[in-house]
Chains A and B, each alone.
Chain A
Amino acid sequence: AQSVTQLDSHVSVSEGTPVLLRCNYSSSYSPSLFWYVQHPNKGLQLLLKYTSAATLVKGINGFEAEFKKSETSFHLTKPSAHMSDAAEYFCVVTTGAEDSSYKLIFGSGTRLLVRP
């Protein structure tokens, strides 16, 4: 069965420093993986997605993620944090072909705090 683990519930960085949000997944099939961002009391917005093309995926707002099959990881990075990046981030894997339900499995989220 698919699962996704976000290794940090909170990450705090200073403005202008790099961001690393960690995600590990478990999947019997080649997974589709996503990162979503949620600002307070808002819905979720897609940052980027991996669907078996290039392993380095570039998203919006300068974020990128690298799919590493050997490590079963899909970590989210950004070279330089901005105050507007403060939000909650979710790593997501699809169930896809395993059970034909095509449900999304969400990680528990990582709250990113950006210090001035």
Chain B
Amino acid sequence: DGGITQSPKYLFRKEGQNVTLSCEQNLNHDAMYWYRQDPGQGLRLIYYSQIVNDFQKGDIAEGYSVSREKKESFPLTVTSAQKNPTAFYLCASTRAASYTGELFFGEGSRLTVL
């Protein structure tokens, strides 16, 4: 079945460590997104990529980095510069950035900083 796979589902990190969240899709979608979800705040866009080898900052990119070396993969690194990284992270994709259809989501990764 086609879809988006995020891993790990749960992750614990000590302060000062970088962590990388994986996002893989087999939907042949061009556009991929990373969102951060905090209670009562909806989803906020961290980074998005409309095509391989290109990506743009979203609304809360500080302390995060991404790469898009392959169409199917869009990993997110949470760096030690992110001041409050404990959150639920969601990866999503859509056929093309200009497509106003469905955004497909992974099941999320919950990051907790100890």
Contacts and interface: CB of A to CB of B under 8 A. Distances in A.
Interface in A3-54: 9, 32, 34, 36, 41-46, 49, 51
Interface string B83-114: 00000101010000111111101111010000
Contacts of B42: 90, 106-109
B53 interface: no
Contacts of B103: 34, 36, 44, 46, 104
B81 interface: no
A45 B105 contact: yes
B14 to A, nearest CB: 23
A75 to B, nearest CB: 17
A109 B40 contact: yes
B100 A43 contact: no
Contacts of A43: 4, 6, 90, 92, 105-108
Interface in A81-108: 90, 94, 96, 101-104, 106-108
The size class of the interface chain B forms with chain A is 20 to 34
A106 B108 contact: no
Contacts of B110: 41
Given A42-B108, A43-B107, A90-B43, A102 B90 contact: no
27 contacts: A34-B103, A36-B103, A41-B108, A41-B110, A43-B6, A43-B92, A43-B108, A44-B43, A44-B90, A44-B92, A44-B105, A49-B101, A51-B100, A51-B101, A90-B42, A90-B43, A94-B100, A96-B100, A101-B97, A102-B31, A102-B98, A103-B45, A104-B33, A106-B42, A106-B43, A107-B42, A109-B42
Interface of A: 9, 32, 34, 36, 41-46, 49, 51, 90, 94, 96, 101-104, 106-109
Given A41-B107, A41-B108, A102-B99, 13 more contacts: A32-B100, A36-B103, A41-B88, A42-B108, A44-B43, A44-B103, A49-B100, A94-B100, A102-B97, A106-B42, A107-B42, A109-B40, A109-B42
